[in-house]
Amino acid sequence: MPTTANARGPGSRLYAGFGISGPVTPLLLAAALGVPWLPGEFWTHVGTEVLIFGLFAMSFNLLYGYMGQISFGHAAFFGVGAYATAMLFTALKGADGQIGVAQFLLSLLVGPPVAALAALVIGFFCVRLTGIYFAILSLAFGELLFYIVFSWYSFTKGDDGIQGLLPPPFFQDSTNFYFFTLAIVAAAAAVMWRITESPFGYALRTLRDNQRRAGFLGTNVRAHMLANFVIAGTFAGVAGALWGPFSRSVSPGLLGWGESGIAVFMTLIGGAGSFVGPMLGSVIYTMLQAVVKMYTVYWPLTIGTIILLIVLFAPGGILGTIDKRIQAMRARKP
Amino acid sequence: MSPPILAVTGLEKFFGGVHVTCNVDFAMQEGEQSAIIGPNGAGKSTFMNLLTGYHRPDAGRIVFAGRDITGLPPHRVVRRGISRAFQVSSIFGRMTVSENVRAAVQAQMRATFRLFASARTLGAGETERMLALCGLEAKRDVVAGELAQGDKKRLELAIALAGKPRLLLLDEPTAGMSIDEARSTMELVDRLNRELKLTVLFTEHDMGIVFNHARKLTLLHRGEIILQGTPAEVRADRTAQKVYLGEHHL
């Protein structure tokens, strides 16, 4: 990040301090605060989904953008978080199907640590590998967990999933739930930002750029990879915990490779090289999906075409491409 | 004489059927500045890889500063005080020059598990010192991957020095540099050795640099040490001329 840029205006100063994420974050935040004022509940609902999946994609990018490893099984932790919350939720709710606020919040709290535990076990094996082997092993573990949840009917209700996750009355209002989600996602993002700007965050970047050399700095490569794997899994668990009460149900598909692919897609669209890229990717992916599905059943075809175009013509994603332009401009006029 | 800072005994390494390091005994005193020379494929880089834990020796012992470091992984060897700079510069290409050095400083401080500290301020002073020492202040905000070859090698050296080594291993420190850059780099190495008592072991193909900057030479040939001595002794030796020096015009 350039620190000597001569600041002209707040956007330029934010860029100098935080890179492309600097000017984009306030814009995203302003848009997020404005969503509930749009007419009808539809966009508030979509907005909640944007936030939850955005957090999920940002947690994925801790592995991909910062550590340089691509995981095709990251949804396992999203799903484990969602199921942990859903199962405690079900156990705590009354016979009338209602749940108290305290019990509701408690059930949300249990998602992330259970996801972290799953990430610790799976990560222990995955961090022994890098590149395509890391990707394939994460995929295999993700599918394994999917299959366990899918088949273990007595414990997880199998392919029926878990229904009836109706939050307390206050949170049933879509605007209230939206702001609740926004607060949690913003707080989680702030913590993630701190981590990415810490010595640990930069140690991850050294692993991404040159793993062998990182070892010669005195960095314990596997220990750092494992710690980051657990952190990424934990934040995916936060997103997963929010999902159940939002959609009122969970199903095994949440753990599957299709769900993992969504994080990859969002990150590629928004840009893996910047902190908020995956969130922007979620804005585009989720909103586009909502609109396209209103008119056609060809959503996979649509998103496939978009990904193809991005990978071919804007390989850094949207923010990566804009960032490149800005840097080229700055290089031309000193 | 005090015990050597580095003592290698009976070191062996095979790659498949190839015997790349044959029964090497090697020692260095603290504050020494030595060079390993030898033709391509003599096993110079392998020897450095063995010293730094990148390869595990098949036999033999490496004792550094009184402690056995044989078979330790690289990150633990570094913490014992052996840093290395690579022949082909091995830097962090997408990070800026100062971020490269800062990450190395923070690794040396063992601060890389501090999740909520600010990377920008931790070890900033030491980072500045390393940048200044290696003449990289003006390039601090350049993305390392875009540096010229000579600057990459200087960054390579800065990263190695950030580890606060007692023994610095340099694998062809001036390869790819202009004559001026090579001279200033070797002057820096001499200064570190003289002023900080840093023990330096380097490999180099440029015999001018070897004879001017090393006080002791070790000639390696097919994985074996065939000669050790002062530059004058090695220059005068007939075997040395035959296996290696003959290739070079002296």
CA distance linking residue B184 with residue B175, whole number of Å: 13
Residues in B closer than 8 angstroms to A227, CB to CB, are: 113
Question: Average pLDDT over chain B, rounded to whole?
Answer: 91
In a domain, A8, yes or no: no
* Closest-CA distance of chain A to residue B113, Å: 5
Name the residue among A23, A26, A72, A75 with its Cα closest to residue A259: A75
pTM of the model: 0.93
pLDDT value of position B96: 95
Residue type, A323: D
Q: Does a structural domain hold residue A160?
A: yes
B3 by Cβ neighbours in 10 Å (0-12 / 13-18 / 19+) ranks as exposed
Domain count, chain A: 1
Domain membership of residue A7 (yes or no) is: no
Residue A107 lies in a domain: yes
Of A200, A202, A215, nearest to B102 by CB-CB distance is A202
Q: A199 and B78 in contact by Cβ < 8 A?
A: no
Pick A16 or B74 by higher pLDDT. B74
> Looking at CA atoms only, how far is residue B200 from chain A in angstroms?
17
Tens digit of each residue's pLDDT (9 = 90 or more) over A77-114: 999 999 999 999 999 998 888 999 999 999 999 999 99
CATH of the domain at A167: 1.10.3470
Lookup: tokens for A271: 């840009």
Q: Is pLDDT at B71 greater than 50 in this prediction?
A: yes
Please report the DSSP string for A183-242 in residue order: HHHHHHHHHHHHHHTSHHHHHHHHHHH-HHHHHHTT--HHHHHHHHHHHHHHHHHHHHHH
**Average pLDDT estimate for B31-42:** 91
Domain that includes residue A123, residue range = 13-332
Report percent pLDDT > 90 for chain B.
73
- Round to whole Å and give the CA distance between B146 and B96: 9
CB-based contact A199 B117, cutoff 8 Å: yes
Question: Is the Cβ of A208 closer than 8 Å to some Cβ of chain B?
Answer: yes
- Tell whether B95 lies on the interface with A, counting CB pairs under 8 A: yes
Helix (H) or strand (E) holding B97: helix B97-108
pLDDT at B236 over 70: yes
State whether A217 and B90 contact (CB < 8 Å).
no
Asked if B95's CB is within 8 angstroms of A217's CB, the reply is no
Beta carbons of A280 and A24 less than 8 angstroms apart: yes
Asked if the structure places residue A1 within a domain, the reply is: no
- Of A222, A228, A236, residue with least CA distance to A200: A228
Structure token digits, residue B160: 């190695």
Q: Specify if A6 maps to a domain.
A: no
Are the Cβ atoms of B114 and A4 closer than 8 angstroms? no
Mutation test of the interface with chain A: which of B55, B69, B75, B88, choosing the one with the most A Cβ atoms within 10 A? B75
Q: Kindly determine whether residue A209 and residue B78, on different chains, have CB atoms separated by under 8 Å.
A: no
Of B54, B75, B94, the CB nearest to A220: B75
The CA distances from residue A330 to A1, A16, A47, B42, in Å, are 13, 11, 35, 48
> Between B95, B141, B163, which is nearest A209 by CB?
B95
Tell me the pLDDT band of B54, cut-offs 50, 70 and 90.
very high
Residue with tokens 């075409």: A305
- The partner residues of B61 in beta bridges, in order of sequence, read B9
Structure letter (DSSP) for residue B143 = B
pLDDT of residue B237: 87
Query: Tokens 């610790």, residue?
Result: A120
C-alpha to C-alpha distance for B187 and B33, rounded to whole angstroms: 13
Cα-Cα-Cα-Cα dihedral sign, residues A101, A103, A104, A106: positive
Which residues of chain A make contact with B103, given a CB cutoff of 8 A?
199, 202-203, 205-206, 217
Work out the minimum CA distance from A45 to partner chain B, whole angstroms: 33
User: Is A3 inside any structural domain?
Assistant: no
Closest Cα partner for A195 from B141, B104, B112? B112
The mean of the pLDDT values for chain A is: 93
Strands B167-171 and B199-203: parallel
Q: How far is B124 from chain A (nearest CA, A)?
A: 12
- Whether residues B106 and A224 touch (CB distance < 8 A) is answered with no
The partner residue sitting opposite A216, judged by closest CB among B52, B110, B119, is B52
Cβ-based neighbours of B86, under 8 Å, separated by 6 or more: A213, B156, B171
Which range among A303-317, B89-103, B190-204, B236-250 shows the weakest confidence by mean pLDDT? Answer: B236-250
Give the nearest partner residue to A206 out of B74, B103, B116, using CB atoms.
Answer: B103
Sites in chain A below the pLDDT cut of 50: 1-7
**How far is CA B75 from each of CA A9, B44, B148, B194, B241, rounded to the nearest angstrom?**
44, 21, 28, 27, 38
What is the residue type of A309? L
Spatial strand order in the sheet of B67-68: B18-28, B6-15, B59-64, B67-68
**pLDDT tens profile A143-202:** 999 999 999 998 989 889 999 999 999 999 999 999 999 999 999 999 999 999 999 999
How far apart, in whole angstroms, are the C-alpha atoms of residue A170 and residue A193? Answer: 30
Q: List CB contacts (< 8 A) between A206 and chain B.
A: 92, 95, 103, 107
pLDDT of A4: 46
Distance CA B153, CA B161 (A): 12
Q: Please indicate, yes or no, if residue A156 is contained in any of the structural domains.
A: yes
